[in-house]
Structure 1
Amino acid sequence: MKKVMIIGGGIIGLTLANYLDKTKFDVTVIDSLIGQATSASAGIISPWLSKRRNKKWYQLAQDGAAFFPKLVRDFALDESIYAPCGTLVVRPEKALQELAELAENRRKEAPGIGEIDLLTGSQTKEVLPLLKEMPSLRITGGGRLDGQAYLAHLKANAQQQQVTFIEEKAEIVRTDNHWQIKTKDHFLETEILCLTAGPGLLDLLSPLGYQVDIRPQKGQLLSFATNLPTNSWPVAMLEGEGDLIPFSNGQILLGATHENDAGWDLTPTEAAQQQLMTGIGAFLEDPEALFAAPMTMRVGTRAYTSDFAPFFGEVPDETNLFAASGLGSSGLTTGPYIGYLLANRINEVHAQPTDFSCYTKPMTEYIKKRL
């Protein structure tokens, strides 16, 4: 049985670990758990209304969203983890008309969008009572994912499949036939190595002579514990950096920030709290009532590239070395699907190597040998 080691136990790494064929592979996941973006995140799975011009990114996001029903079935995700709750988009009326037309066009290839309706202000408030009376666009497709709960569920599932977990920082060494991984208390060898450590990919590949187009982005969001009947509420995509995400049992999340200059700093900041409360509060009927509820802050570190697009596949000029990173704020939508695609590649589900070119630029655009 071959060994597969995964460095990085976030949304890609744990999905990959669960989909690997345990009759073929002995799987180990190594992660220090420091700064992990998914463990701090919760977000909206609804990419269809994006106006990003990157067609490869959109295809990946569209297919990632369409993958969720299978993900729910395969891992028995309950509604505390993922719920297909539908999506509200709040914009000026002219912009909503344009988005409705975009949604109708994209529904031809993405039926998961569901029904598309333009709502009046009173209808918006009826659907999501926290909001002021403002016009909105509602699509019945899309959902909410709690990244922290997703990781906990998949880790438990993987452990039942005898996947080994090591909670330490790792570094790698190239050998003739194997990869060696060093941690504080372990010295390990593996035939196949997968690097899914987000912005930590830079430190992992740099000693092997690679330059990596990756950098950390700090993200903060607010979580409120309320007694409100949130279970049936949709998520809301507001203007600016504001998303309003009602979860089960009265939990309401606001966020998140995109801080490109904060590096690896994981300190919650009052500036981020005020930014989110001020920006999102402008859309709320009674912001003081929500903000009076008990609040916690989640902080994580995303990975992003110079073109804000993810990459994944085999590292150039290496054998049995895979990497994935650069998900940015779309990680909850694209991460599980990327993990699944990498697992299929390693499991040799297809007679020929899986072609990822419809989803991402060549790996050489992001990972290059130093001159």
Structure 2
Amino acid sequence: MKNCIIIGGGIIGLCSAYYLQKEGHQVTIIDKFDITKGASFVNAGYITPSHFIPLAAPGIITKGIKWMFNSSSPFYVKPRLDIDFLKWSWAFKKSASNAKVEKAIPVIKDINLLGRSLYEELKASKDFNFHYDRKGLLMLYQTEKLGEEEWEVGQRGIKEGLNVKHLSKEEVKQYEPNVDLNIKGAIYYDSDAHMTPNEFMKDMVQYLKSKGVTFYTNEEVKDIIFFNNTISEIKTDNRSIKTDEVIIAAGSWSTLLTKKLGIKIPLQAGKGYSINTNRHTGIETPAILLEAKVAVTPMHGFTRFAGTMEIGGINHNINPARVKAIAKSAAAYYNGLHLEKLEIDSADCGLRPCSPDGLPYIGKTKAYKNLTIATGHAMMGWSLGPVTGKLVSEIISNKKLSLDLNPFHPDRTF
């Protein structure tokens, strides 16, 4: 048994704690907030084998430059003279090649599929009450151009073993019988599932506490004590804790911690927004509005509209133009659906930790023998929570790994 400190109480940190305590380790979670908000609570709740194309894909640089001048665009990069941002941007550009994307596709698909099966295991365990539903994912399009582009992706998905269909507007009605859609058609992935994130997070915190996991919330890590290549102690603003193993799962804040250790991990915060409506929408199947890059999820008791990727540093400032763009898109695809001012004004945001190549960082660094990194999941953080946690536990418990971790190595070069 090892004393493990997890820095970060988001989906990755909680799932790491879950699998570590299952192996008999003593686990402590430290979080600078109170584990009630952030990206793990405001995301679209998707488990996404369909999202096998990394963010750094060919053509995204051109689109990004065009969108850079539109603050309400789906992908917005705020230019700034920051050395970490500039290095990340260069690595992102180098990663957006056909060869690197082709190499990443099966890796991303496989880790997502394992993630889905682990969520289903958690649900079947009867230890939790969280909402989990597998209804697939509709990629709704309004223009033939986007439909053709997504069908090309879908056909690649079929080659990867996924079940993908190209649906006409009329065929979409079998998945959405109670809404009037302003679309030309959809690409449907039956591989995907969805959840209500806040339910799972609350369930998992309660479960972990019942199993003896220690939580120190609203505490910030101030110092990491190490000698040679071993970390011995974590100091917060309230206490000092001895440790055998350290897991950094602090999302977009992870690089602030690794810098204390002299480790440089390229990472940028990608802000996303979400709007909830408790009113009955009739929406039954999760969808992505392709032209707008907005995700729509029928959650437990409400419908969530989420989207945008804003690379603009670590902050939780709400950009009203981006929120309004999400609301406007919802009305443009679902005839008769209008989000009210109060709903729009109550929008929230979260920061997704984005690596340059679209693959998360999972594994030990060469610099410290008892440090494991688990971050950089970008828009797949929710999908990859349990699988990352299981991999972290396998690393620390010296067990056979469920997946080859080389593509996710924290020391990889770009």
Cα-to-partner distance string for 1:217-262 (whole Å, 9 max, x where unaligned): 22211111112444xx11111123211112233x11112121112x
Query: Where does residue 39 of structure 1 map in the other structure?
Result: 41
Q: Are 1:200 and 2:253 matched, yes or no?
A: yes
Cα distance, 1:354 vs structure 2: 7.1
Specify which of 137, 143, 149 is matched with residue 87 of structure 1.
137
Cα-to-partner distance string for 1:108-132 (whole Å, 9 max, x where unaligned): 544xx44x43322233245321522
CA RMSD of aligned residues (A): 2.8
CA distance in 2 between counterparts of 1:178 and 1:265 reads 29
Specify which of 258, 272, 275 is matched with residue 309 of structure 2.
258
Cα distance, 1:196 vs structure 2: 0.6
Cα-to-partner distance string for 1:268-312 (whole Å, 9 max, x where unaligned): 332222111223332121133x44784531211111123343212
Decide whether the 8 Å contact of 1:221 with 1:297 is kept in 2. Answer: yes
The 1:184–1:126 alpha-carbon spacing in structure 2 relative to 1, beyond 3 Å, is same
SS of the residue aligned with 2:259? Answer: helix
SS of the residue aligned with 2:209? Answer: helix
Q: Are 1:72 and 2:120 matched, yes or no?
A: yes
Write the mapping of 1:11-160 to structure 2, written as runs, cut at 5 A.
Answer: 11-22=11-22, 24-33=24-33, 36-48=38-50, 50-52=52-54, 53=98, 54-55=101-102, 57-67=104-114, 68-75=116-123, 76=126, 81-91=131-141, 92-93=143-144, 96=147, 99-100=150-151, 102-103=153-154, 106-107=157-158, 109-110=160-161, 113-114=162-163, 116-128=164-176, 129-160=179-210
Q: Are 1:179 and 2:270 matched, yes or no?
A: no
CA distance in 2 between counterparts of 1:118 and 1:9 reads 39
> Unmatched 5+ residue regions in structure 2?
55-97
TM-score normalised over the length of structure 2: 0.77
Query: Where does residue 277 of structure 2 map in the other structure?
Result: 224
The 1:202–1:252 alpha-carbon spacing in structure 2 relative to 1, beyond 3 Å, is same
**Structure 1 range deviating more: 209-218 or 68-77:** 68-77
Cα-to-partner distance string for 1:167-218 (whole Å, 9 max, x where unaligned): 1111312136652111121100101111011121122121222222112222
SS of the residue aligned with 1:336? Answer: helix
Query: Where does residue 298 of structure 2 map in the other structure?
Result: 246
SS of the residue aligned with 1:339? Answer: helix
State the AA in 2 paired with 1:137.
I
SS of the residue aligned with 2:395? Answer: helix
CA distance in 2 between counterparts of 1:135 and 1:346 reads 47
The 1:338–1:265 alpha-carbon spacing in structure 2 relative to 1, beyond 3 Å, is same
CA distance in 1 between counterparts of 2:354 and 2:17 reads 23
**Structure 1 range deviating more: 163-172 or 62-71:** 62-71
Decide whether the 8 Å contact of 1:244 with 1:255 is kept in 2. Answer: yes
Query: Where does residue 288 of structure 2 map in the other structure?
Result: 237
Q: Are 1:356 and 2:409 matched, yes or no?
A: no
Query: Where does residue 85 of structure 2 map in the other structure?
Result: none
Query: Where does residue 244 of structure 2 map in the other structure?
Result: 191
> Unmatched 5+ residue regions in structure 1?
367-371
The 1:152–1:108 alpha-carbon spacing in structure 2 relative to 1, beyond 3 Å, is same
